[in-house]
Structure 1
Amino acid sequence: MEIRDITPKDLDDVLDVRRRSFGPLPAADREKWCQATLPVLAEGRYLGVFDGSRLAAAARLRRFTQWWHGRPQPMAAIAGVTVNPEDRGRGVGNSLMRAVMDRAAELGDAVSALYPATTPIYRGVGYEHAGAMRTVRLPAESLRRIRPSGQVELRRMGPGDGGALDSVLRRAHAAARSSGPISYGEQMWDQLLGNENDFLYLADDGYVVYRWKGDDIEVENLVATSPDTLRALWSMVGSASSIARDIVATVAPDDPVLWLLPDRAKEQVTETRWMFRVLDVAAAVERRGYPAQAACDAVVTVDDPTRGGGTWRLDISGGSGTATPAEGAGVTLSVNGFSALYAGVPPYTLRLSGLMSGDDRYDQALEAAFAARPYMLDYF
């Protein structure tokens, strides 16, 4: 078996593996998929496992931006992990994931995330459950009753507005001190904004992407940084209540729309879980944001048999952190445990689940420094 970069001439084989793993891609979408994939190939972000000339497995890693406590950093988004049926159970997927992680680190990504089809293979190479994409079903009438509180100028979006949308996201997630959400970047947003079935509206400090889905309205993204824009966008979505009964919306766990609803007793919520992994401890700690009032000086050993672990002194204060090589005993975590800690899972949970051991004197400081409620608004 050989692992190497996927090239344009391999794309038909990639689609065949994809068909055997996820089902066929509609013919109308094949060309669109190929065009969206070519930039990934050019960046060295699509790897395949080859048995001679035959493609056995493939995976792509896109470089998105991810926020942690309001600070953005590059993130390797792992997607399209596919293995031919006849090659499953031979360790092919495990070898591929190790190569994908090495490539991500070579390209400068210190963290990675993915939506798992199954947990064990990814947990086995250091990924751990961190957050979810949270979808809630709301009565359309309740959103229609949210009244705009000011004059907000909304305009339709389309290809060419990806940069403006990305700018809104950066300001919104910094202001909210968000943890977990991503941005695709201007180029990919421009591609996504070309979907003729989507309704796309942009304000100076917010935007919405929504569409009809059967008899309901599906809100894929709605982000705003001011009360007036928040009300204007949700009220516009709710204006479909004369036809649509429900709005199915992807929202943050503490999305402010949930506090604007006139009545809120029971909610139908669906969570699609995602997993997270730290690839480079020092770079990941330095790139993350932290609560300004949190202070932590802890010795942490990370056991990472896949990429090599070590012992670091974590020094976190004033909203920033560093990790420098150290010696001595302190807290010990598997890489799964450290990745979960980074994503806000508290030390108490990690200790009870066997992901953390050793000196507990740092636990409160670590919990305060890495506190987070991670979520995503996008599936990849």
Structure 2
Amino acid sequence: MTLDVRAPRDDGERDALSDLLCVCFNSPADGIAVGMERVGADHQRVLMDGASVLGGLWQLPMGQWFGGRSVPMVGIAAVGVEAAARGTGAGDALMASTVRELHARRVPLSCLYPATVNFYRRAGYELAGSRQRIELPLKGLRVRAAPGATLRPGTATDLPEMERCYARSVGAHAGPLDRRDYCWARVRQPRGETARHWLVHEHGELSGYVTLIQKDSPDDIGYDLQLTDVAATTPGAVTTLLSFLSGQRSLSGRAILFGSDRHPLLLGLPEWLVKVSLDLHWMLRVTHAEQALTARGYAPAVSGELEFELADELIPEHAGPLQLSVREGHATVTREPARSGAGRAPMRLDVRGLAALYSGFLTPPELVRMELLQGSSEQLATLGALFAGGTPWMADMF
């Protein structure tokens, strides 16, 4: 079996990929067709055995917020392998080729939601953050809108301003997506429905919004409010959005959203009424360490220098010694081994450990216990200080 991974060359290969994904995910053909169109042919990959399509996936170029900066990232979605080829190494070949391609393109990061964790660990991904399901009962919610704030329905002309508001809302957190068209479409037309927008303005500026659809409630008369997107950049936006949701309680018993228990909307609640549960963990892969380490932000008051040996079995040219220097919120990275400090052993860091450290999901002592990191207590303390931050989370599913 000679395997090759590439973009589909014609409609026949694209149709074969679409049919394969329908079977893999037990999805209707029209749903996969919408996804294929949104992704675009240039970002589809097929796993070929001669003239046969054995598998494939979608690449989703976007960004992810870390340290107050948007880091370029390629999301991986719709990974599927023909049933008879599973267990033959075909899936490993598909992911290995994809990761090597991203490295060659100097893409800093790759992110995905795993159907099975160990499979993606073999490709260098590691658990790096979570997506939580949040249920907010509305019956007991009593919040007044902020004085001077206005609330109105949104229209298509508001979308560019909403995108800028979203970036201000999530940019200080670790892990949220810097969305591109594919993910914006998912929150605005979830599963073919058209969501409605409600916008909060203060002093003539958009300070928050909510995007929602109404779904029949399985537990009550009326409906649930499913919040497909929420942004709030000021305390006034938070209270005004909560007041809006409270006003829907005569027919809606609850609002459901995804993200984190640290979401700004929840931190404005007068009482902790919410039910929070883990929906999924997401995984991260550092596909180009130099690009990833220099693209993200760091706390301006923290500085330090470290040398570490990066291990990456899948991309040998990615492995090797790295010098990291952080000053005033920015990092520089070089590939040369340290010329001073003879006798001081460098840290050893597996690429999976770098992903979990980079996002803030795991601390250096936790990585040591997972045997993904080796270093002295002084080195671990410096590493922990450089990558300290908030708990990584994401609202989007892709």
Matched residue, 2:221: none
Q: For residues 105-140 of structure 1, give each alpha carbon's deviation from its aligned partner in whole angstroms, at most 9, with x where no partner exists.
A: 344421111000000110011100010111111211
The one-letter code matched in structure 1 to 2:244 is M
Matched residue, 2:168: 171
Distance in 1 separating the partners of 2:327 and 2:78: 38
Confirm or deny: 8 A CA contact 1:105 1:279 kept in the other structure: yes
Distance in 2 separating the partners of 1:112 and 1:103: 11
Tell me whether 1:252 sits opposite 2:257 in the alignment.
Answer: no
Matched residue, 2:342: none
Is the partner of 2:6 in helix, strand or coil? strand
Change (3 A) 1:122 1:190: closer
Deviation at 1:56, TM superposition (A): 0.4
Q: For residues 61-120 of structure 1, give each alpha carbon's deviation from its aligned partner in whole angstroms, at most 9, with x where no partner exists.
A: 111121002111211101110011111011111111122122323444211110000001
Change (3 A) 1:161 1:121: farther
Q: For residues 157-185 of structure 1, give each alpha carbon's deviation from its aligned partner in whole angstroms, at most 9, with x where no partner exists.
A: 454544322211222233xx211000322
Confirm or deny: 8 A CA contact 1:116 1:275 kept in the other structure: yes
The one-letter code matched in structure 2 to 1:346 is T
Q: For residues 175-207 of structure 1, give each alpha carbon's deviation from its aligned partner in whole angstroms, at most 9, with x where no partner exists.
A: xx2110003225763685356441222341222
Matches within 5 A, 1:120-199: 120-143=118-141, 145-159=142-156, 161-174=158-171, 177-185=172-180, 189=184, 193=188, 196-199=193-196
Matched residue, 1:63: 61
Tell me whether 1:359 sits opposite 2:357 in the alignment.
Answer: no
Deviation at 1:359, TM superposition (A): 2.7
Confirm or deny: 8 A CA contact 1:160 1:190 kept in the other structure: no
**Structure 1, 257-266 or 338-347: larger mean CA deviation:** 257-266
Change (3 A) 1:191 1:85: closer
Change (3 A) 1:230 1:315: same
Once superposed, what is the RMSD of the aligned Cα atoms? 2.1
Deviation at 1:32, TM superposition (A): 2.8
Change (3 A) 1:142 1:223: farther
Task: Pick the aligned partner of 2:242 from 230, 234, 240.
Answer: 234
Confirm or deny: 8 A CA contact 1:142 1:262 kept in the other structure: no
Matched residue, 1:290: 298
Confirm or deny: 8 A CA contact 1:199 1:211 kept in the other structure: yes
Change (3 A) 1:11 1:154: farther
Is the partner of 1:305 in helix, strand or coil? coil
Change (3 A) 1:100 1:282: same
Tell me whether 1:22 sits opposite 2:20 in the alignment.
Answer: no
Q: For residues 35-62 of structure 1, give each alpha carbon's deviation from its aligned partner in whole angstroms, at most 9, with x where no partner exists.
A: 3132xx23xx221111222210101111
Distance in 2 separating the partners of 1:289 and 1:81: 31
Q: For residues 270-308 of structure 1, give each alpha carbon's deviation from its aligned partner in whole angstroms, at most 9, with x where no partner exists.
A: 331000011111111100111121222111111001123
Task: Pick the aligned partner of 1:3 from 2, 5, 9.
Answer: 5
Matches within 5 A, 1:203-282: 203=200, 204-215=206-217, 216-264=224-272, 267-282=275-290
Distance in 2 separating the partners of 1:55 and 1:375: 35
| Residue-pair matches, total | 372
Distance in 2 separating the partners of 1:265 and 1:208: 19
The one-letter code matched in structure 2 to 1:172 is S
Distance in 2 separating the partners of 1:136 and 1:190: 22
TM-score (norm. length: structure 2): 0.87
Confirm or deny: 8 A CA contact 2:199 2:209 kept in the other structure: yes
Confirm or deny: 8 A CA contact 1:77 1:114 kept in the other structure: yes
Is the partner of 1:240 in helix, strand or coil? coil
Where structure 1 has 5 or more consecutive residues not aligned to the other structure, the ranges are none
Deviation at 1:231, TM superposition (A): 1.6
Matched residue, 1:75: 73
Distance in 1 separating the partners of 2:182 and 2:279: 28
Distance in 2 separating the partners of 1:46 and 1:186: 15
The one-letter code matched in structure 1 to 2:350 is S
Matches within 5 A, 1:69-108: 69-108=67-106
The one-letter code matched in structure 1 to 2:379 is Y
